[in-house]
Amino acid sequence: ILLPAPIPESETSTFGISAPTTSTTIALALGDALTLAISHELHSTSAPSIFATNHPGGALGATASPPPAAKTKLADLAVPLADIPFVGGGWGTALATHVLIAGYQSPSGWVRYCENSVVPPRRIRRLEPEDMDKLATKVRGLVVTTPEWIVVREDISVREAIAFLEKAKMESARGEATYDDDAVIATAVEGRVTGVVEIATLMAEKA
């Protein structure tokens, strides 16, 4: 296939040297346009997914990248309490809408309602349209206060934390889960809470 790519002026005339400059730029632009045109013809509706499969930033890159380091400590899973943003709207007057907005803006999805309470991501995702105009504290099960937190040492291992929860399940009267998947585990050092994690996030490490 011959695709003409005329250059109005030679590189020698433009730059005083015969090094490939303009010609290589034209070749790159033409090749890029040709690639996109062929991609559109062959994969008119699935080009993004095909690109992701073959691009170093997609599947190929993931295959070539080293596996992430195993998270052996519960603290590795926990979101630092200091990094969790407070909800807007004011303490005691914040609506569920404010919590939803804060959760959307929070990198971790966690929100602090006040110094002694948090809202986990899973509880935010379960908000219903009819909850939006309610006070956050009036939405059942949304805000989790410190008495509800399961406080453990920061240096406890993931395996130990999972074993603790499984033991609690076995010891429950009917063998059912003692805690919901959005229950809050808090890591602490000398009684001071340093981070929080949802039980579902912890149990996912068991797989």
Per cent of the chain over pLDDT 70 is 81
Does the pLDDT value for residue 74 go beyond 80? yes
Residues of each domain in the chain carrying CATH 3.10.580: 74-206
Cβ atoms of 198 and 150 closer than 8 Å = no
When mean pLDDT is compared across 49-58, 96-105, 107-116, the lowest value belongs to 49-58
The reported pLDDT for the residue numbered 189 is 93
Cβ atoms of 33 and 40 closer than 8 Å = no
Pairing of strands 184-189, 150-153: parallel
Tens of pLDDT, residues 25-53: 888 888 888 888 887 777 777 767 666 66
CATH of region 74-206? 3.10.580
Return the structure tokens found at 48.
């993004």
* Average pLDDT for 108-125: 93
Pairing of strands 144-145, 117-119: antiparallel
List of residues 6+ apart from 3 with CB closer than 8 A: 30, 34
Does the pLDDT value for residue 70 go beyond 70? no
pTM for this model (two decimals): 0.61
The strand order across the sheet containing 144-145 reads: 111-114, 117-119, 144-145
